[in-house]
Every structure is written in C-alpha cells, then in structure tokens.
Amino acid sequence: MYRSSIAVPGESAASYALIKLIPAGAGASQPLALNLALVLDVSGSMYEEDGTGISRLKRIQDAAIAAINKLRPEDTISIVAFAHNAQVVLPPTSIAQKAKIEDVINKVDMFDVDPGGTAMDQGISLGMGEVEQHAGAGKLTQLVVLTDGETSGEHDCRRLAEQAGQKKIRFNVIGVGTEWNQSLIKDLAKLAQGEWGYIDVNDATAAERVFAQQFEALASAGFLHVEMHLRAMKDIKIKRVRMVVPEIKELPTTEVEDRHLVAQLGTLERDKPTRYILDLSLPKRPDGKFRIADIEITFDPGTGKRETTGAYPLEVTYSAQQGYVNAEVARHIDEVQIFELNKNLQQAIATNNQQEAQRVAQNIEKKGELMGPRAAKKTMLAKQVLSELNTGGRVSKKTQLAMDDMTRAVEESPAS
C-alpha cells in the first residue's frame, strides 16, 4: 500500500496499491513457439537516407535479418510488403529456413507492390490471414507492423486491430521517422493489446536496436492472455489499473460482475518482473486491518488451458493517523504523474495552446528535478520543449515523439 496505515477523516479517501508480478520461468511448461507476421512498408519514402547514407528500407532490412537470430528454428515467420497495395512475399516459413527468409527480406521491395502510396490496412489484413493459418495452443501469434508514413484506410486499420484483439492476435506497431500518424499507431497497439514504438531515422543504430528488443521480447514470452482478477469488498472502488514497469500504460478493464474487475495484462516474459498500480477509493472504517480485495492472476502457460495463481488478499490497516509513505510506491506515483503531464502536454501542442504547453512543460521540468537522476532524460526533454516554444513557438514532431517515448519508459527496479 501507498501508506503503512490510512486515516479516512471523511466518507472516503484515495489511495494506491502496488502489485508485483514475477512470471517465474518454471511456471511455463515449454518455450512458446512464435507465429509471426512481419508487415513492412515499402513505399517510396522508405528510400530516403536521412543523412545517413543508407536508405530507411536498407536499415530496416539489415535490422530484421539480425533480429531473426533471436528466434528459434521451430518459430514461424510470414512477410507482407505494402505500399499502394500489399502482397504476401513470404508465406509462413520455419525459421530453420533462414537463408530463404533472408533472401526475401533483402529483396522485399522487388515484388509486385506499387510504391506510390501507403495502404497499411491491406498489409495488416494479409498479415492476419497468414498468422491465422498457424494459430493454436502453445503459440504466440503476433504481427509486427512497420510504417514511415500516413496511411489510407485508417478506419479499416482500427477495425482489423479490434478483430485481432478479439482473436488474441497481438500487434506491435513501429513508426519510422516522424511522418506517421501517432494517434493511429497508439490506437492500433491498444486495440490489439500490443505495443507501439518508433525508430529515429537520424540514429543509424536505432532500427537494429528496436528490432532486437522486439524479437528478444517475443522469444522470451512465456505466459499468454494474462488477466488480473480484482474482487473488491463492499464499498471499495478500484478506479483504474496501470502498468508501471517496464513501462507506464493504462490497462483495459472489464467489470464481469458486480465488484469483479478484470484487467488484461497481455503476454508476459519469463522472469521479467512487471508492476501495476491500482487507484483505489477506500471508505471509512474503524481502526484495524481489513481485507479490501482479492487478487487472482489467470494465464495460459502455452498449453491452451488457463491456470491460476489462486486468490491473494489485499489488506489495509486503518488508524487514527496517516502511516508512513512507502518509498517504492511513491516513486511509481511520481513516474505516473510525469506520464499524465506529458499527455496534457501533447494535447496542448495538438490544439496549438502554446501558453498551456509552456506551463505543463515547466511542471514536467520541476517534477523531474525533484525526482533526481532517474528523471534526468525527462527533465532534459522538457527543457527542449520549452526551448523550442521560446524560439519558434512550435515543438518539433521529433521532440514530441522523444518526450512521449521517454515518459512511458521506466527503469526496472530489482525484484523484491
């Protein structure tokens, strides 16, 4: 709990609980086979070099080939190329056929795809069709979609992502450069319970780093369709559930019955701790220890059958005086507050409200300075926002993306 004990002078009081999950590798019956579709933008803009001397497409091709080495021979990959239209350039193929896969990646722009457009919806549709052929128990079914531009068919992209979420097909969506639709990519990742990210085109090593991270995470997946069941006692309100490690994001929740909330945690990696903050409203109680909720984690360890941790009680001590603040929980709350401030900053920038953007950026800078060295990069980026506002009145898309990416990232603390 946020405090060792809580005093509630009125009818109710806000509080927080930190939930730590450590997905022990021994809990998974066997390594999960990966059923992956790589959906790549090959439109004309992918030939831009961005001052690096190497085209965006070539950097992506090299990064994808290097990242394939993170996968196992029994994993399967499909490749779809899209621009004005889309084409399956590699049907589902075992990673054991590495030479064949590398050959297709190296000539991914030489197939019958018109480079004069960006129809990501067609690419996603074909990618989903390929992975659905090989979906099943013991497999992680995943799309990794990459684009560097605005796309047609946004409504269809969202519809497909929603369908993917229902079918347990996850999306990871990567934007290259700054010309892609940030809100669309975030929506797709959220609808399909995946992740989003971006590649800085001016950083020659960014593509390789991002692809390596993506494929390492996929190869480490051990627990599928993980859910957190929260059964609150009477008059206890669970207002929100957020992941806070390894990144900050609000989780979709469903109230399946009265006082029974289910949060979707997605896929968890073996031995990689995750952390979650519950926002609570606690009623007035007499002094003493009370159980306020039961927490249960259910998951598929790759067998196709759901398993459970069983229920664990969440307890709170009531007292006349407020107890001491738990430093670990407080650190996560600080990170969440910067994350929320950044959302306000993005909104102010989107509506061209320079005065509000300046005010919020100053608050981020102050908050970051209070947090010390662990928030140094966030403070630095807030100063960059202020500098750009003061000199030109506008914040560059690159700075916005960097700020958005940095505020959601959290350094993992040791398991305890």
pLDDT at residue 406 in the model: 87
Q: Degrees (nearest 5) of the Cα angle 255, 261, 262?
A: 100
Beta bridge partners of 411: none
H/E element, 34? strand 33-41
Cα-based torsion angle of the residue sequence 156, 216, 41, 135 in order, rounded to the nearest 10 degrees: -50
Q: Are strands 139-147 and 170-176 parallel, antiparallel or unpaired?
A: parallel
| Range of weakest confidence among 6-10, 79-83, 299-303, 351-355 | 299-303
Neighbours of 34 (CB within 10 A): 22
Average pLDDT value for residue range 38-46: 96
- 25 — pLDDT class (breaks 50, 70, 90): low
- 415 — pLDDT class (breaks 50, 70, 90): very low
Classify domain 33-221 at the CATH topology level: Rossmann fold (3.40.50)
Q: Which three-class secondary structure state does DSSP give residue 97?
A: coil
Q: What are phi and psi of 365, to 5 degrees?
A: -60, -45
Mean pLDDT of the chain: 92
CA 39/CA 182 separation, integer angstroms:
18
Is the separation of the CB atoms in 400 and 360 below 8 Å? no
- Please say whether the dihedral angle defined by the alpha carbons of residues 379, 383, 209 and 85, taken in this order, is positive or negative: positive
Choose the CATH number for 12-24+222-318 among 2.60.120.20, 2.20.28.120, 1.10.443.10, 2.60.40.3670: 2.60.40.3670
pLDDT at residue 70 in the model: 92
- 206 — pLDDT class (breaks 50, 70, 90): very high
Q: Which three-class secondary structure state does DSSP give residue 83?
A: coil
Domain boundaries, the chain: 12-24+222-318, 33-221, 327-408
Residues 6+ apart with CB under 8 A from 263: 227, 228, 230, 241, 251, 252, 253, 276
pLDDT at residue 204 in the model: 84
pLDDT above 70 as % of the chain: 97
CA 372/CA 100 separation, integer angstroms:
50
| Range of weakest confidence among 4-8, 143-147, 190-194 | 190-194
Check pLDDT > 60 for residue 201.
yes
Q: What are phi and psi of 113, to 5 degrees?
A: -125, 125
Residues 6+ apart with CB under 8 A from 20: 273, 274, 275, 415, 416
pLDDT at residue 313 in the model: 97
Strand segments (E) across 109-259: 139-147, 170-176, 195-199, 221-232, 237-245, 249-250, 253-257
282: DSSP letter: E
Nearest partner of 140 among 24, 74, 222, 25, judged by Cα: 222
Give, in order, the Cα–Cα distances in Å from 121 to each of 76, 214, 239, 377.
22, 21, 34, 35
Average pLDDT value for residue range 123-139: 93
| pLDDT tens-digit readout, 398-413 | 999 999 888 888 865 4
pLDDT at residue 303 in the model: 84
| pLDDT tens-digit readout, 256-311 | 999 999 999 999 998 899 999 999 999 999 999 999 999 999 999 888 889 999 99
Long-range contacts of the stretch 348-353 (C-beta < 8 A, 24+) = 349/395, 349/400
Residues 6+ apart with CB under 8 A from 9: none
pLDDT above 90 as % of the chain: 78
**Does a cis peptide bond (omega within 30 degrees of 0) precede residue 23?**
no
Nearest partner of 125 among 174, 71, 169, judged by Cα: 169
pLDDT at residue 410 in the model: 80
pLDDT at residue 416 in the model: 41
Q: Which three-class secondary structure state does DSSP give residue 347?
A: helix
Distance of alpha carbon 22 from its chain centroid, rounded? 18
pLDDT at residue 270 in the model: 87
77: DSSP letter: E
Check pLDDT > 50 for residue 44.
yes
H/E element, 335? helix 327-350
| pLDDT tens-digit readout, 45-67 | 999 999 889 999 999 999 999 99
The secondary structure of 183-199 as a DSSP string is: HHHHHHHHHTT-EEEEE
- 366 — pLDDT class (breaks 50, 70, 90): very high
Average pLDDT value for residue range 180-208: 90
